[in-house]
């Protein structure tokens, strides 16, 4: 997966709390077997009416076109456990979401897909939201090695993150990538412990 080190991007404000995964990516779009293509369905029920016509939704506001950082209310990503929610956010173009709290499963799924969840205080989150609403083309810099979010107007906030999670994100390692860091040791172990002949034949 793509490493996350320092990212600067436009911020889109989603002033809603308890945004659950069914709102992020509705269940009727979960039949796809690829990880890509979900971005077009992000927040579908909020963006489109029953006839597929666009509603007045923040992500379709030209001021937030190309936004790569989302700021939202508390308890983001609650509801059912669906990795598709993270895929949809990433496929739409987001690299990170800021909130004062996240559902644990959503945060864990995000980590496995190189997507950063940034937990700030309610006051700090509200300030980022206020600036994103008030200023056209509002940008933040997310500095993962320093665990810091900052802008060019004096806002600066530290965010907590598990050191192991940060290590994996900075290096772009998902579970497979992390395992492959030990490829030589795995190969050495397999060479020293060959499969029994019966299992070797079964695998052919």
Q: Full-prediction pTM beyond 0.75?
A: yes
Residue 180 is predicted with a pLDDT of 54
Q: 3-class SS at 47?
A: helix
Q: Which residues, 6+ apart, have CB-to-CB distance to 164 below 8 Å?
A: none
Residue 81 is predicted with a pLDDT of 87
Express as a percent the part of the chain with pLDDT over 90. Answer: 75
Mind listing the domains of the chain with CATH numbers?
Answer: 6-173 (3.20.19.10)
Q: How far is CA 162 from CA 86, 186, 192, in A?
A: 19, 27, 36
Is pLDDT at 201 greater than 60 in this prediction? no
Express as a percent the part of the chain with pLDDT over 70. Answer: 86
pLDDT tens-place string over residues 15-61: 999 999 999 999 999 988 888 999 999 999 999 988 888 889 999 99
Average pLDDT, the chain: 90
Poorest-pLDDT segment among 140-149, 157-166, 177-186: 177-186
Give residue 159's pLDDT band: very low, low, confident or very high (50, 70, 90).
Answer: very high
Q: Are 43 and 59 in contact (CB under 8 A)?
A: yes
């Amino acid at each position: 997966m793509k490493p996350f080190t320092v990212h600067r991007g436009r911020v889109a404000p989603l002033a809603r709390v308890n945004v659950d995964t069914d709102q992020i990516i509705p269940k009727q779009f979960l039949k796809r077997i690829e990880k890509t293509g979900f971005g077009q369905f992000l927040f579908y029920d909020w963006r489109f009416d029953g006839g597929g016509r666009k509603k007045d939704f923040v992500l379709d506001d030209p001021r937030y076109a190309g936004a790569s950082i989302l700021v939202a209310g508390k308890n983001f990503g609650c509801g059912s456990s669906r990795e598709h929610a993270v895929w949809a956010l990433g496929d739409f173009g987001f690299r990170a979401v800021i909130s004062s709290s996240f559902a644990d499963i959503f945060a864990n799924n995000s980590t496995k897909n190189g997507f950063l969840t940034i937990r700030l205080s309610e006051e700090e989150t509200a300030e980022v939201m206020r600036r994103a609403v008030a200023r056209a083309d509002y940008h933040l810099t997310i500095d993962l090695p320093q665990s810091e979010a900052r802008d060019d107007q004096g806002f600066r906030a530290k965010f907590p993150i598990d050191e192991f999670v940060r290590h994996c994100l900075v290096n772009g390692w998902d579970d497979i990538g992390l395992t492959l860091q030990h490829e030589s040791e795995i190969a050495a172990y397999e060479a020293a412990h060959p499969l029994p002949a019966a299992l070797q034949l079964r695998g052919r």
